[in-house]
Structure 1
Amino acid sequence: MHLLEIGQYKILVDCGLDYEKDRSIQSNENFPFRPEEIDVVILTHAHIDHSGNLPTLVRLGFQGQILCTPPTADLTELLLMDSVSIFMHKANKGRKHGKGKGKFNSGAQPLYLQKHVMDTVERFITINFNRPFRLNGDIELTFVPVGHLLGAAAAVLKINDHGEEKTIAFTGDIGRKNYPVLNDPEQLPAVNYIVSEATYGGRYHTKDKSVEDTLIETIEKACIKEQGRLIIPAFSIGRTQSLVFALNKIFTSGKLPAVKVFVDSPMAVMATGIFRKYHNLVNEEAQEFYNKKGDEFDFDNLTYVETLKDSRQVSNYFEPCIIISSAGMLEGGRIQDHLFYNIQNYYCTILFIGYCAKGTLGHRLLRGDPIVHIKDRELAVYATIKQTDVLSAHGDHDDLINNIKHQDKSILKNVFLVHGETGSMEALSESLTADGYNVTIPEKDVAYEL
């Protein structure tokens, strides 16, 4: 969440939700500004750490427009509705564990309700990629595609500051090249200032194995040689669609014998519908596949599981199979049921394809905890735990550096590094400084004059 002030005009870039366990959800209400004083919000993409606090902003008095790309608007609505479900689940849990009849755990009060989400969605104004949009007489906004997620964009602002033109780009989250379904990030135009994400600063993706090779190797061992099941925790929006397309290519080309695949996530079903709706924005490979072989998100032996009853039936499927379910960090959703029934199965492999934050069940499994707590029970871990970064949707250190290296040093005055752990931002800063760029790692709540 960044606030850009141009005279009296106030632009908020992204408004993410902090789900950290050691903080009360209610701390998200404490904005360091008055929500009613914000003129406009620019949303770079739908992920909850960028969009999830918008309904709180609206609930507390924001009355302006929220500008984003069309897919971002649709995917954000889906994610915000899911946030309400999570809040309500926590609230009900609070009631259940409250002392005495009718008592309520106030710490679990919903941050916002469905009504606030609908009020937020009504404020969306969608703008297509690379189409300049005038905010007022002095400010022009352009969305530049950055991969990472369908509809994800960098926000490039051209500002007339008392007769002097100044340009600033907020990257949002930057994707990587050759990612299934998504287009490669586009180069940013020359700007004076860049506010860049630094998630993978100092870290590098595996380069010697493709997505398909990694999946083939894992499926062959888990489902064909061992005749077991492969469980892949995956975020419903973005990661699941890329994974399904990769599996589609593997099975339709006959690189592996047919294996039953279950996608067990109602949100993934809805998100896949949005990917189909904006099919003109998927990458050339996916479009070509569609033209030659049909829907890239559907193939023989693939079943989208919608009802809870059908989800429970998946546990009774005893043939080798692949189960894709959310949430990616295992902190909720139907994945917990699949883990509950399979964590003690020697013939089960759990493949992590995304980041797991500290404190999550996913993180505990990845660090090798021999016993984990799932659904009010302590269970020993007998399943095989594996991880790969080939499906990470974030650009790595080199990708982030290259995004900035295209800039003209005589025009670019400063790079602000945000959205990363301290070590990641410092590693990125070191590389950029060595290349002659001015770099600042901003402190929270500190203002910078441009």
Structure 2
Amino acid sequence: MKLTIHGAARQVTGSMHLLEVNQYKILIDCGLDYEKDRNVQANEDFPFNPAEIDVVILTHAHIDHSGNLPTLVRMGFDGQILCTPPTAQLTELLLMDSVSIFLHKQHKAGKHRRGRHHGARPQPLYLQKHVMDTVDRFVTIGFNKPFRLNGDVQLNFIPVGHLLGAAAAILTINDNGEEKTIAFTGDIGRKNYPVLDDPQPLPPVDYLVTESTYGGRFHTKDKTVEEVLVDTIEKACIKESGRLIIPAFSIGRTQALVYSLNKIFSSGLLPPVKVFVDSPMANASTNIFRKHHALLNEEAQDFYRVQGDEFEFENLHYVENLRESHQIANYFEPCIIISSAGMLEGGRIQDHLYNNIQNYYCTILFIGYCAKGTLGYRLLRGDPIVHIKDRELSVYATIKKTDLFSAHGDHDDLVNTVKQQSADRLKQVFLVHGELESMQAMAQSLEQDGYEVVMPEKGITHIL
């Protein structure tokens, strides 16, 4: 049995792991690599022949895990893609959105090149046809329902929180007569997250491939989500009669936020405030959350039985089209605007920022990570002037941030996931999906308790 980490090795994006069992090749995740200085077309450079991959296992829908699947299919992969039902539906949404982003960048590049001799415009990595070809290969499997890939390999999906449908992949393998087990965690969620169940403990395994995104970092624990939102809304919308803009990723983060606001307003903790959800993808993904209501956590299901739809309440309005989105600028009462993208790179959020960044009575609350170089990162850094839609604008709005909506487990969550395994049985822990500094912090905690930790380099094969 051989394991090669081809992506998310000592970095966060581009998860892609190859497991070979008796000539049978299993690819776990196939994400886009967004690391700096990397051209998106470089994602075509697979370190293996896509046509030789027998099956793909997809842990969850996020683009850094799923976003290169259409390229894999376009370049010859013709096997099944195994995932949970919500993951299949959310992935289709995200992949279609990626096509839109590719085409927008191509159009934008064409405008800049017009009248100049700069060669051909960059081509999209894939198109809608390739996404549909990919979707046709999805085979969905429920949680905790063992599925046999072939005579030697059995798969079981274990829920890990993080995102609706997100799963750890547990593989039980007959390796030349010897039974071996290996788990790929995907991304691990945190406990008590809005809407989602806590991560389920993993069964005992021989090898563990685990994410390490928040190694060495700890989430805020002295306040709840509701307390932070109440404090922020009360100041921005009640006392100052202004508006609160919350950039939020459309899938996962927006649903957690809307549910939390529903609890606040339905319980009377604050007087009613108009809430706009301005994201077509958020509207579509919320319907997928509704469809898979049985997978939401017990608190959300109890709320549904008493109050009704978790994602619908008085004064909440889902914006349907661009005309409605533009009309929000003419709404002069206090309000909350939830829009994507979370890092402010494109999307309708840029219109809202353009109209409000110089408004002293506007607060912008970040509830997610912003990568270096993004507009969100520059605002959080405190830049007094930012560039939005071809204009330099002074920042007069109040900028705030909370990590309570982060869907990633922190250092303690990650370490405790590993420590559920016996150090005597677990032969090796492979750390992926994290910067080297995060991996080192996590490795130090684990090695103190006798675990053998590997921080694999990209493309190096390990014999298990």
Among 74, 77, 82, the alignment partner of 1:59 is 74
Question: Does the aligned pair in 2 maintain the 1:91–1:105 contact within 8 Å?
Answer: no
Structure 1 partner of 2:170:
156
Matched ranges for 1:187-336 at <5 A:
187-336=201-350
Matched ranges for 1:42-191 at <5 A:
42-100=57-115, 106=120, 108-191=122-205
The structure 1 segments of at least 4 consecutive aligned residues displaced by more than 6 Å after TM superposition are: none
Measured against aligned partners, the alpha-carbon deviations of 1:316-363 in whole angstroms (never above 9, x if no partner) come to 111110000000000010000000011111110000000001111100
**Aligned-residue offset at 1:436:** 0.9
Structure 2 partner of 1:27:
42
Name the aligned partner's letter for residue 52 of structure 1.
Answer: G
Q: Distance in 2 between matches of 1:390 and 1:90?
A: 32
**Aligned-residue offset at 1:104:** 7.8
Question: Does the aligned pair in 1 maintain the 2:186–2:211 contact within 8 Å?
Answer: yes
Question: Does the aligned pair in 2 maintain the 1:47–1:79 contact within 8 Å?
Answer: yes
Q: Distance in 2 between matches of 1:106 and 1:37?
A: 32
Question: Does the aligned pair in 1 maintain the 2:423–2:449 contact within 8 Å?
Answer: no
Structure 1 partner of 2:10:
none
Among 388, 413, 421, the alignment partner of 1:399 is 413
Matched ranges for 1:359-398 at <5 A:
359-398=373-412
**Aligned-residue offset at 1:7:** 2.0
Question: Does the aligned pair in 2 maintain the 1:155–1:170 contact within 8 Å?
Answer: yes
Measured against aligned partners, the alpha-carbon deviations of 1:3-55 in whole angstroms (never above 9, x if no partner) come to 11112110000000123452211000001101000000000000000000000
Q: Distance in 2 between matches of 1:26 and 1:215?
A: 40
Name the aligned partner's letter for residue 337 of structure 1.
Answer: D
Question: Does the aligned pair in 2 maintain the 1:192–1:414 contact within 8 Å?
Answer: yes
**Aligned-residue offset at 1:410:** 1.8
Structure 2 partner of 1:442:
456
**Aligned-residue offset at 1:105:** 6.0
Name the aligned partner's letter for residue 150 of structure 2.
Answer: N
> CA 1:59–1:137 in 2, change beyond 3 Å: closer, same or farther?
same
Q: Distance in 2 between matches of 1:359 and 1:416?
A: 29
**Aligned-residue offset at 1:108:** 2.6
Question: Does the aligned pair in 2 maintain the 1:94–1:105 contact within 8 Å?
Answer: no
Measured against aligned partners, the alpha-carbon deviations of 1:197-246 in whole angstroms (never above 9, x if no partner) come to 00000000000100000100000011111111000000000000000000
Name the aligned partner's letter for residue 37 of structure 1.
Answer: E
Structure 1 partner of 2:28:
13
**Aligned-residue offset at 1:411:** 1.2
Q: Distance in 2 between matches of 1:342 and 1:116?
A: 39
Give the secondary-structure state (helix, strand or coil) at the position aligned to 2:461.
Answer: coil
**Aligned-residue offset at 1:306:** 1.6
Q: Distance in 1 between matches of 2:340 and 2:121?
A: 25
Q: Distance in 2 between matches of 1:415 and 1:171?
A: 11
Q: Distance in 2 between matches of 1:215 and 1:104?
A: 49
Between 1:246-255 and 1:405-414, the stretch displaced more is 405-414
**Aligned-residue offset at 1:262:** 0.3
Q: Distance in 1 between matches of 2:346 and 2:416?
A: 36
Q: Distance in 2 between matches of 1:158 and 1:20?
A: 33
> CA 1:269–1:392 in 2, change beyond 3 Å: closer, same or farther?
same
Q: Distance in 2 between matches of 1:449 and 1:420?
A: 22
**Aligned-residue offset at 1:106:** 3.8
Name the aligned partner's letter for residue 171 of structure 2.
Answer: L
Q: Distance in 1 between matches of 2:118 and 2:171?
A: 46
Runs of 5+ unmatched residues, structure 2: 1-15
> CA 1:341–1:62 in 2, change beyond 3 Å: closer, same or farther?
same
**Aligned-residue offset at 1:99:** 3.7
Question: Does the aligned pair in 2 maintain the 1:94–1:104 contact within 8 Å?
Answer: no
Question: Does the aligned pair in 2 maintain the 1:87–1:108 contact within 8 Å?
Answer: no
Name the aligned partner's letter for residue 83 of structure 1.
Answer: S
Give the secondary-structure state (helix, strand or coil) at the position aligned to 2:156.
Answer: strand
Q: Structure 2 length as normaliser, TM-score?
A: 0.96
Measured against aligned partners, the alpha-carbon deviations of 1:278-298 in whole angstroms (never above 9, x if no partner) come to 001011111111111110000
Structure 2 partner of 1:416:
430
Name the aligned partner's letter for residue 278 of structure 1.
Answer: H
Name the aligned partner's letter for residue 263 of structure 2.
Answer: K
Runs of 5+ unmatched residues, structure 1: none
Measured against aligned partners, the alpha-carbon deviations of 1:35-83 in whole angstroms (never above 9, x if no partner) come to 0000000000000000000000000000000000000000000000000
Question: Does the aligned pair in 1 maintain the 2:209–2:431 contact within 8 Å?
Answer: yes
Q: Distance in 2 between matches of 1:352 and 1:107?
A: 34
Question: Does the aligned pair in 2 maintain the 1:148–1:173 contact within 8 Å?
Answer: yes
Measured against aligned partners, the alpha-carbon deviations of 1:358-411 in whole angstroms (never above 9, x if no partner) come to 111100110111111111111111101000001100000000011011111221
**Aligned-residue offset at 1:95:** 1.5
Question: Does the aligned pair in 2 maintain the 1:69–1:126 contact within 8 Å?
Answer: yes
Question: Does the aligned pair in 1 maintain the 2:110–2:121 contact within 8 Å?
Answer: no
Structure 1 partner of 2:5:
none
